[in-house]
Structure 1
Amino acid sequence: MDRLVYTAMSGAKHTLEQQATASNNLANATTTGFRAQLNTFRSAPVVGDGLPTRAFVVDSTAGNDFSQGPIQDTGRALDVAVQGKGWIAVQTADGGEAYTRNGSFKTTENGVLQTQSGQPVLGDGGPITIPPDVTVAIASDGTVSTIPTDGIPNAVNILGRIKLVNPDDKNLKRGDDGMFRTITGGPAQPDANVRLASGALEGSNVNVVEAMVNMINLSRQFEMNMKMIQTAESDSTKATQILSLT
């Protein structure tokens, strides 16, 4: 009976862990630029004395879904969406570099261009600062330019260019903050082929219907494993009663 109990227990445990991933995907179905996380089950043979007659279930992260999400027009000057493959480089709190597809920007009191969660947007020479009383425009190549609102209308001032990168998907890992970093930890090289759509944002690439169906399947798998544990307990109790009678 112990074989059945431990096998069912491992299945129930890892089903709960995969449910957490599915719940996180559903919770971020409306998060700008979110990339769905992919999980899968795999069997792990139990190695010990005798023949390997048992195999536990293990939840493993298969990777991330890097497919393009839907692009929606917002008309806001500080909103940009990455078209196709590519990432926007931002500066983390520890001074490192991370990458996001969330192009909803804002400016601080000091004029620093940053994401809605507070990470400065990196340019060619570091964070980009926008002066006051200007109209901001972001070109498709990431160039940030301004026009004064109280001066000469055609006096265009180029402030810098947003760092756009396109590292290999296999060289990226997701952080606890939802942003991606290179596996080696070093900065990725700029890619001039990455293009932005101004006045638009990219939505999450989570398929809500597929995620809901996955949640239902995982819930049924968990119930099945729990019933197997209850069956093993019932069989063990009955076996003990029979042995006590003999």
Structure 2
Amino acid sequence: MDRLVFTSNATIKEQATARQVLVNDLANVSTVGFKSSYDVALQSVKVEGPGFDSRYQAQAVARDQIRLTPGAVMATGRPMDIALADQAVLTVQAPNGDLAFTRRGDLKVNPQGQLENGSGHLVLGNGGPIAVPPGMQISINPDGTVYAKDPAQPPTAPSVLIDQLRLRDATDVKLARRQDGLFKVDGQADGVDIAVGQGQPRLIPQALEGSNVSAIEAMTRLIDHSRSFETQIRVIKEMKSLDESGASMMKTA
């Protein structure tokens, strides 16, 4: 009975990681450009100890690899909003200064005159963070080129190229989630760049990409985890009851 209680308790512990992933996905259903992770994988681990040499139990293995399935694209009409197309990612500067990647494209100009996204991460261009001249109107083309125009000039005046968004194609690259929520190359140190391939990453101007998390699917799986948790607790309580009944029968009169 003790071994059965141990197995049930181990199951509850191993499912905790998967529940955390689901809760995090649900919390980011409405986050712009959020990408879910692959499910927690299970592997069989041999249990050492007395008894037959055939005891195995499942052990959770966290695989926080990014699922780049596109989310719903929403047209906003805002010149500084972009939605990354296909498997493209946007290069930004992480809070610690490292190079990192994201799919969040709600861009704006901060008080220092630099381009950043809705999370406050500086957007990188060819020479570092992109600086925007004061008072200029910004427009972004599908190839990632950033143009600025003085609103005081006539409408026919040409726009001026100020920089190029550092876009990367992650089609053949596995991405993992950093501690700050940004992406990095899986298996590599933080700050490693993605090699430039033959394909040209593209974006959709004046649009935003929604989260790729299905709220209904995530809620259904979370309910399934809750029922599994209740089942394991019921097993532990039943074993406790059987153990108490056995102890009572062994008592001498």
Q: How far apart are the structure 2 equivalents of 1:168 and 1:26?
A: 26
Match runs of 1:81-160 below 5 Å: 81-153=83-155, 154-160=157-163
Corresponding residue number in structure 1 for 2:53: 52
Residues 43 and 222 (structure 1), Cα distance of their counterparts in 2 relative to 1, 3 Å cut: farther
Question: Contact 1:15/1:221 (CA < 8 Å) preserved in 2?
Answer: no
- Report the residue type matching 1:59 in the other structure: A
Corresponding residue number in structure 1 for 2:14: 14
Corresponding residue number in structure 2 for 1:233: 240
Question: Contact 2:88/2:171 (CA < 8 Å) preserved in 1?
Answer: no
Corresponding residue number in structure 2 for 1:188: 194
Corresponding residue number in structure 2 for 1:222: 229
Residues 200 and 211 (structure 1), Cα distance of their counterparts in 2 relative to 1, 3 Å cut: same
Q: How far apart are the structure 1 equivalents of 2:101 and 2:24?
A: 20
Instruction: Identify which of 162, 167, 173 aligns with 2:165.
Output: 162
Match of 1:121, SS?
Answer: strand
Q: How far apart are the structure 1 equivalents of 2:131 and 2:23?
A: 38
What is the aligned length? 246
- Report the residue type matching 1:184 in the other structure: Q
- Report the residue type matching 1:46 in the other structure: V
Q: How far apart are the structure 1 equivalents of 2:23 and 2:55?
A: 30
Q: How far apart are the structure 2 equivalents of 1:244 and 1:166?
A: 72
CA offsets, 1:133-178, max 9 Å, x none?
2221101111000111113542321011000012356532101222
Question: Contact 2:36/2:67 (CA < 8 Å) preserved in 1?
Answer: yes
Residues 190 and 127 (structure 1), Cα distance of their counterparts in 2 relative to 1, 3 Å cut: farther
Q: Larger strand proportion, structure 1 or 2?
A: 1
Q: Which moved more, 1:216-225 or 1:228-237?
A: 228-237
Q: How far apart are the structure 1 equivalents of 2:225 and 2:153?
A: 62
Q: How far apart are the structure 2 equivalents of 1:70 and 1:47?
A: 49
Percent identity for Structure 1 against Structure 2? 32
Match of 2:40, SS?
Answer: strand
CA offsets, 1:69-89, max 9 Å, x none?
110101111110011111000
Q: How far apart are the structure 1 equivalents of 2:54 and 2:251?
A: 29
Q: How far apart are the structure 2 equivalents of 1:170 and 1:161?
A: 22
CA offsets, 1:172-229, max 9 Å, x none?
2101222111231212234551101000000000011111110110000000000111
Where does structure 1 lack aligned partners over 5 or more consecutive residues? none
Question: Contact 1:43/1:57 (CA < 8 Å) preserved in 2?
Answer: yes
CA offsets, 1:13-46, max 9 Å, x none?
2223322211111111111111112224443231
Match of 2:71, SS?
Answer: coil
Q: Which moved more, 1:220-229 or 1:148-157?
A: 148-157
TM-score (norm 2): 0.90
Corresponding residue number in structure 1 for 2:176: 173
Where does structure 2 lack aligned partners over 5 or more consecutive residues? none
Match of 1:244, SS?
Answer: coil
Instruction: Identify which of 208, 213, 216 aligns with 1:206.
Output: 213
Q: How far apart are the structure 1 equivalents of 2:208 and 2:40?
A: 27
